[in-house]
């Protein structure tokens, strides 16, 4: 497993060693021991999966403390642009984002620590997206930032007229319109 640093040090790309032959491929998608040694000690408690079609943008979601979540995400089918936005007040990268293409071809995974909003756009005709969470979903703690917040300058790589949103995702506040529940150093 190779760990690739991003512009925000806590957000990392994981590239597994893929063994391919004429039968197909095999790779170890997750090992708690390896992940703890190479990235950070994390105990994931919930796995989620979604299927979405081209142009769907999901996000930018987070769960506030005490139910904050770190996530390890990957694509099983198709391709997405995965985005993590730093919401930690006092962080040197507050409001900055990392955007990484995850696909069934590159087998990359992205680790998003607590204190970040997360979202993705579907670049292929459809995509199956999986993510591990280190805390259980708590609806009373969910929050979000507007996917199209102009101060974030995220290029979702989908033309605006093709973006498909849930009713809820169409009405989130911009970053400067809410008081972040995360404090840098308290993740």
pLDDT at residue 187 greater than cutoff 90: no
Residue 99 backbone zone (phi > 0: left; psi -120 to 50: alpha; other: beta): beta
Domains of the chain, earliest start first: 2-182 (2.60.120.10)
pLDDT value at position 186?
80
**48-83 residue pLDDT tens:** 999 999 999 999 999 999 999 999 999 999 999 999
| Catalytic hit among 61, 97, 107, 172 | 61
Please, are residues 59 and 144 in contact by the beta-carbon 8 Å criterion? yes
Among the listed residues 97, 107, 118, 131, the single catalytic one is 131
This prediction's pTM: 0.95
- Reported as a single tens digit per residue, the pLDDT across 1-31 is 999 999 999 999 999 999 999 999 999 999 9
Q: Is 61 a catalytic residue?
A: yes
DSSP codes joined into one string, 80-113: EEEEEEE-EET-TTTT-EEEEEEETTT--EEEE-
Examine the residue annotation and report whether 131 is marked as an active-site residue of this protein: yes
């Amino acid at each position: 497993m190779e760990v690739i640093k991003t512009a925000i040090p806590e957000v990392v790309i994981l590239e597994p060693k893929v063994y391919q032959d004429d039968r197909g491929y095999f790779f170890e998608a997750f090992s708690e021991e390896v992940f703890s040694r190479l990235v950070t000690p994390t105990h994931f408690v919930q796995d989620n999966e979604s299927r979405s079609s081209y142009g769907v943008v999901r996000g930018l979601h987070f769960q506030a403390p005490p139910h904050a979540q770190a996530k390890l995400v990957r694509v099983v089918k198709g391709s997405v642009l995965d985005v993590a936005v730093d919401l930690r007040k006092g962080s040197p990268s507050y409001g900055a984002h990392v955007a990484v293409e995850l696909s069934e071809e590159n087998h990359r995974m992205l680790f998003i620590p607590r204190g970040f909003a997360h979202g993705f756009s579907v670049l292929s005709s459809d995509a199956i997206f999986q993510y591990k969470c280190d805390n259980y979903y708590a609806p009373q703690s969910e929050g979000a930032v507007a996917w199209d917040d102009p101060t974030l300058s995220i290029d979702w790589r989908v033309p605006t007229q093709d973006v498909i949103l849930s009713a809820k995702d169409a009405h989130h506040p911009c970053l400067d319109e809410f008081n972040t529940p995360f404090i840098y150093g308290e993740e």
